[in-house]
Amino acid sequence: MNQSDLSQTQQAILDFIAERIETDGVAPAQTEIARAFGFKGVRAAQYHLEALEAAGAIARSPGKARSLKLLRPPSRVQAALDLETLSEDAMRLPILGQVAAGAPIGADIGSDSYVVLDRVFFSPKPDYLLRVKGDSMRDEGIFDGDLIGVHRTNDARNGQIVVARIDEEITVKLFRNGRDGIRLLPRNPDYAPIEVMPGQDFAIEGLYCGLIRPSA
């Protein structure tokens, strides 16, 4: 296996590893990779890391945390070269899976595709796209099948639309944090709010920052 045989998800993980090494000085842990890409557990991250190692793109030290080393440049280097022929406002974004606008669903790790988009569609700048499933956010203009841009962050203010993880399930909702706890609110009266209960594994994965609607 060589690097040209990698899936788009594996190329995106390679980019993510390179970015974290560049900004933090250390490689991300497997749990961080799993969370960043919406995997249900670390086993999916391990599978992709094994593929990267088999392709000679990374090296790992068994039993040693954060021991990933890059052996070849990530795809973002080639992506930057590809974008030289495009507008300076163009972005190449991975579609990492799907997110529920309804009851939470597991993230789909089967999407291995990229799209090139103009920055004008989004604010702040997105890190990836997720495909919406369901219509609980229809009154915000977010419909089933839309691709939403997600800016990676663990912080959110009341009233912002977030992509959140609840017990390893992913959903997009309006964020509220009050005296009675965290609530994730739909924007469709046919759906009930989601109450985040004490003891649940909850995290904000990112902020909604715009969408595109694929043509039929």
Record the tokens describing residue 187, joined without a space: 């924007």
Which residue is associated with the tokens 């099948």?
145
Please tell me which residue in 75, 111, 133, 136 is annotated as part of the active site.
136
Distance CA 67, CA 60 (A): 6
Kindly give, in sequence order, each residue whose CB lies less than 8 Å from that of residue 115, ignoring residues fewer than 6 positions away. Answer: 92, 93, 95, 129, 147, 212
What are the backbone dihedrals phi and psi of residue 6, each rounded to the nearest 5 degrees, phi first? -70, 150
**Catalytic residue check, 136:** yes
Please tell me which residue in 87, 125, 173, 215 is annotated as part of the active site.
173
**Catalytic residue check, 67:** no
Task: Provide DSSP, 45-104.
Answer: HHHHHHHHHHTTSEE--TT-TT--EESS--HHHHHHHHHTTS-TTEEEEEEEEEEESSS-
Q: Is 164 helix (H, G, I), strand (E, B) or coil?
A: strand
Which long-range contacts does 173-177 make (Cβ < 8 Å, 24+ apart)?
Answer: 173/136, 173/137, 174/140, 175/204
Record the tokens describing residue 199, joined without a space: 């003891």
Q: Which residues are catalytic?
A: 136, 173
